[in-house]
Amino acid sequence: MSKPLVDPHSGRAPVEAHLHEVADGVFAYVQPDGSWMINNTGFLVARDGVSAIDACSTERRTRAFLDTIAGVTTAPVRTLVNTHHHPDHTAGNGLFSGAAIVAHEQARPEMRALGLPHNSGIWTDVDYGDLELALPFLTFAERMTLWADDLRCELLYAGGPAHTTNDVVVWIPERSVLFAGDLLFHGGTPFLLSGSVLGAIDVLEGFVKPLGAQTIVPGHGPVGGPQMIDDVLGYLSFLRDLAREGHAAGVTPLELARGTDLGAYAEWTDAERIVGNLHRAYADLTTPPAERGGPIDFPGALSDMVTYNGGQPLTCLA
């Protein structure tokens, strides 16, 4: 099932989204175009309640998601899984009244430190609405099993820094469906500033691929199949090799990005992420090696992305 959805709340522009029933009782909620702060979510319907996978970045988008769930089932949302701490997936947590919020144990302190999204001049201004920071209060280290009636769903920690330090996937082996969070982008440029380029390659090759998922819901972009893993790995390998050359030559990430032909990846959304990704890739290449996912000059990297974008704020359509 795939159908366009509209925001029923008056006085606001519709939220463009599509609902896909990717398996019996398993739904992906896809928000085009998947660019900055426009993420995918999902939910599983059971007799006694719904388990949701991620919130959205704004009050308006999260309420539209909740309205969509209510249009499918009258069962309450009892569980909300956060695939990682970034606010496009968590800012709307507080609107899931009564739901147990579940995440990796590192997501809670990261979410607390980052706080709610706000307009800072890095991105074009967004109306985030009336949001309340709601932290996960059920956390785990490696894995947890979530049941939707008799359907077994595995919440699995990625095993190391990749997109962030706290990436979790929702794997439904009986249906070969994977909710990958931001370990995978489909048609959009991956973003590794909070994680590790080398770590992401290791996670995709050693953790995600061996699951053998046939249907993948990425954190951003349309639902697809296993080919998107190879597509993202291609970009990450390109990024790794580029960073090695630039780092050895003593070129700054911004200078290297400005002189780089993105080739096939130029068509992906948010191409300016190459700059932030190179900042992280350089950190991966320091001697001695820096801790993967460790501290980095976030303000400097974000400022360089704006400079790369002609000095204009990065476009956010949330």
The CATH code of the domain that includes 13 is: 3.60.15.10
* Total structural domains within the chain: 1
- Whether residue 66 is contained in a domain is answered as yes
Task: Tell me how far apart the alpha carbons of residues 169 and 274 are, in angstroms, rounded to a whole number.
Answer: 24
The answer to whether residue 311 sits within a structural domain is no
Classified as helix, coil or strand, 317 is coil
pTM value is 0.95
Question: 120 in a domain, yes or no?
Answer: yes
Residue 249 included in any domain: no
Residue 290, pLDDT score: 80
Which strand (E) or helix (H) includes residue 66? helix 59-72
Return the DSSP state at 92.
Answer: G
Could you give the C-alpha distances from 99 to 50, 93, 107, 183, in angstroms and in order?
Answer: 9, 9, 17, 25
287 within a domain of the structure (yes/no): no
Sequence length of the chain is 318
For the chain, the average pLDDT equals 95
Residue 12 pLDDT grade (very low, low, confident, very high; cuts 50, 70, 90) = low
- Per residue in 240-258, pLDDT (tens digit) is 999 999 999 999 999 999 9
Could you give the CA distance from residue 305 to residue 165 in angstroms, rounded to a whole number? 22
Tell whether 106 is covered by a domain.
yes
Q: How far apart are CA 22 and CA 185, in angstroms?
A: 18
Asked if residue 93 is part of any domain, the answer here is yes
What region does 72 belong to: left with phi over 0, alpha with psi -120 to 50, or beta? alpha
In a domain, 302, yes or no: no
pLDDT in tens, 72-129: 999 999 999 999 999 999 999 999 999 999 999 999 999 999 999 999 999 999 999 9
Q: What's the confidence (pLDDT) of residue 13?
A: 66
Range of the domain at 34: 2-226
